[in-house]
Chains A and B, each alone.
Chain A
Amino acid sequence: MSKRIETTDLNVYYSDFRAVEDVTITIQPRAITAFIGPSGCGKSTFLRTLNRMHEVIPGARVEGEVLLDGENLYGAGVDPVRVRRQVGMVFQRPNPFPTMSIRENVLAGIKLNFSRMPKGEQDDLVERSLRSANLWEEVKNRLGLPGSGLSGGQQQRRCIARAIAMAPAVLLMDEPCSALDPISTLAIEDLMSELKEKYTIVIVTHNMQQAARVSDTTAFFNIAGTGSPGRLIESGPTDKIFSTPDVQATEDYISGRFG
């Protein structure tokens, strides 16, 4: 089930340092939203506030609201653990659990939630998740092995399988292809296009073509200079952002005339 995300005046801090300032944005369900912007402008930081992963860093805090279909994720009494079960995340570097087999990795999140799922259902879920991640054919004969022999792209798809096994409402991806070769990258982009039928997808990327290729909406973040907070400059339909953006800075960045 896909959900809409709305943030209003979101400020994100590392201790006293304000990394992201006043972000107000609506992220549509069943669509891919790409965050672009120069390094250090707070894309990852902002992304991590959407599943309350920001606060696991000591001293980090968030001011403002993040609404997931109207429910404030930062409301009193909201359990961050529950939020993270609804909002899945794929990291820049593939991070499968090395001590677990491929199968156990896919089931890792489920084991936390519904530990007594019958084995048959588990098998189904493993197959379904790996199929959705376009990995099933490649690993179906070695589900019980640790999978350290998988390639980087396969590892990343395994992490995607792990995230979608939880049936999240939203899937956050922080530069999921930056460690991958062009072929694996294309595989993951195709995968994203399939997954957006079911999930709200947010992706951070430095790859302009990738943003243009896969996303429906693009949001451009920027910083005035080092030490100043990152801001959302503009967001809108990807076609428009890449052809006729409203702000000069956006055009400069996209056309590579940045800095």
Chain B
Amino acid sequence: MTQKLTRPGTSRGAEPGPGTGAPDPKRRGDRVFRGFAMGAGILILVILALVAAFLLIQGSPALFADPAKLISQGYGEFLPWVLPYAFGTVWAAILALVLAVPVAVGIALFISHYSPRRLAQPLGYVIDLLAAVPSVVFGLWGSLVLAPAARPLYEWLSANLGFIPLFSGTVSGTGRTIFTAAIVLATMVLPIITSMCREVFLQAPRLHEEAALALGATRWEMVKMAVFPFARPGIIAAVMLGLGRALGETMAVTMVLSGTRNITFELLTSENPNTIAATVAQNFPEAFGLKTSQLIAAGLVLFLITLVVNMIARWIVSRRAEFSGAN
């Protein structure tokens, strides 16, 4: 109190002396920002809770209804009805990821570590552009172009690799199969996974890359030693983001697939499992009463699937935190 460190006129930028008690304008900014950030964080939780509450409340008539009533006024008993769709959802998403992840990681690695810089930039833009294409367009492309074009491939697969259960059964005449849907989904999730992977690959510490090179690693060995281990949590996060998108994607699947309620691993037949999102979209316009709440309850199932997937992802990322690139 005895020392007066700040002179009037210069007090704005200067730190107040200890114990002067005057509020520091910088501190106030700090508090405001902290409040804002915390508010935003709380907001997202509130939104999530509201969505869950909406699904629970609106879907509960179907969830807790008498099975007989569901059979007469809804789409049938809830669990047997929703399970094939849940299967279709997960199956289509997994197929899409199996197709997309290797390609995405490859492209990302090419951009970050292999291509000359002149090529890397435009390639990055093109990939990002792909993310901006609306899903309706992908749906149109999938059903009008990809499906007919892929049919000969499917016939070939069926004829030559038909002994593998995946490719058995009669090939669909339209080509609009779960495999086509998976290709479309893969194309749609490719940009997210690619750009996220590219970012983490670019952040791989130069120091460790040079350590690997100096030990006599080839470029690929360097990637394996110094880039992948560092990027692993990032890759998983990218894949999970892609999975989230693939699970929830509605439009493209609705347009490509004429799905049924069928649990099958056959990829090329005309009897394809449908996804939850597509089912809801297809039936919602004509639904009323119990049917509406049954569709909303299906939405709740989709919500839960996505939640579980994300939790598994978190767990994978945290499992080997001790060895992660962070330390």
Contact A84 B215 (CB under 8 A): yes
A159–B322 Cα gap in the complex (Å)? 20
Contact B216 A82 (CB under 8 A): yes
Partner of A56 from the list B213, B226, B323, B324 (CB cut-off 8 Å) is B213
The segment from A92-100, A193-201, A250-258 that touches chain B is A92-100
* CB of A154 within 8 Å of the partner chain: no
Residues of A within 8 A of B (CB): 51, 53, 56, 58, 81-82, 84-85, 88-89, 91, 93, 95-100, 108-109, 112-113, 146, 148, 159, 162-163, 166
Interface string of B201-239 (1 = CB under 8 A from A): 000010110111111111001000110011010000000
Contact B210 A95 (CB under 8 A): yes
Contact B217 A51 (CB under 8 A): no
- Contacts of A85 on B, CB cut-off 8 Å? 215-216
- Contacts of B210 on A, CB cut-off 8 Å? 53, 56, 91, 95
Contact B216 A97 (CB under 8 A): no
* CB of B10 within 8 Å of the partner chain: no
Report the count of interface residues on B (CB-CB < 8 A).
Answer: 25
* CB of B117 within 8 Å of the partner chain: yes
Between-chain CB contacts (< 8 Å), 12 pairs: A51-B214, A53-B210, A53-B213, A84-B213, A85-B216, A91-B214, A93-B207, A97-B225, A97-B226, A98-B229, A98-B323, A99-B229
Contact A88 B214 (CB under 8 A): yes
Contact A146 B323 (CB under 8 A): yes
> Nearest chain-B residue to A96 (Cβ)?
B211
Partner of B215 from the list A56, A98, A112, A148 (CB cut-off 8 Å) is A112
- Contacts of B117 on A, CB cut-off 8 Å? 58
Contact B207 A108 (CB under 8 A): no
Partner of B218 from the list A81, A89, A146 (CB cut-off 8 Å) is A81
Minimal beta-carbon separation of A97 from chain B (angstroms): 6
Contact B327 A148 (CB under 8 A): yes
Minimal beta-carbon separation of B213 from chain A (angstroms): 6
Contact A95 B207 (CB under 8 A): yes
Partner of A99 from the list B214, B216, B325 (CB cut-off 8 Å) is B325
- Contacts of B218 on A, CB cut-off 8 Å? 81, 112
> Nearest chain-B residue to A149 (Cβ)?
B327
Contact B325 A112 (CB under 8 A): no
Contact B325 A162 (CB under 8 A): no
Minimal beta-carbon separation of B111 from chain A (angstroms): 14
- Contacts of A99 on B, CB cut-off 8 Å? 229-230, 232, 323-325
Contact B221 A146 (CB under 8 A): no
A51–B215 Cα gap in the complex (Å)? 10
Interface centre among B208, B322, B323 (most CB of A within 10 A): B323
A56–B214 Cα gap in the complex (Å)? 10
Contact B327 A53 (CB under 8 A): no
Contact A81 B217 (CB under 8 A): yes
Partner of B214 from the list A58, A84, A113, A146 (CB cut-off 8 Å) is A84
Could you list 19 further interchain pairs (A-B, Cβ under 8 angstroms) beyond the known A97-B225, A98-B325?
A53-B210, A56-B210, A81-B216, A81-B217, A81-B218, A88-B215, A93-B207, A98-B229, A99-B229, A99-B232, A108-B215, A108-B225, A112-B215, A112-B216, A112-B218, A112-B221, A163-B215, A166-B215, A166-B216
- Contacts of B226 on A, CB cut-off 8 Å? 97
Contact B217 A112 (CB under 8 A): yes
A134–B277 Cα gap in the complex (Å)? 62
Contact B324 A53 (CB under 8 A): no
A56–B113 Cα gap in the complex (Å)? 11
Minimal beta-carbon separation of B228 from chain A (angstroms): 9
Report if A113-B211 is in contact (Cβ < 8 Å); known contacts: A58-B117, A98-B325.
no
> Nearest chain-A residue to B116 (Cβ)?
A58
Minimal beta-carbon separation of B241 from chain A (angstroms): 22
> Nearest chain-B residue to A113 (Cβ)?
B216
- Contacts of A97 on B, CB cut-off 8 Å? 208, 211-212, 225-226, 229
Contact A98 B217 (CB under 8 A): no
- Contacts of A51 on B, CB cut-off 8 Å? 214
- Contacts of B221 on A, CB cut-off 8 Å? 112
Minimal beta-carbon separation of A218 from chain B (angstroms): 24
Interface residues of B in 295-327 (CB under 8 A from A): 322-327
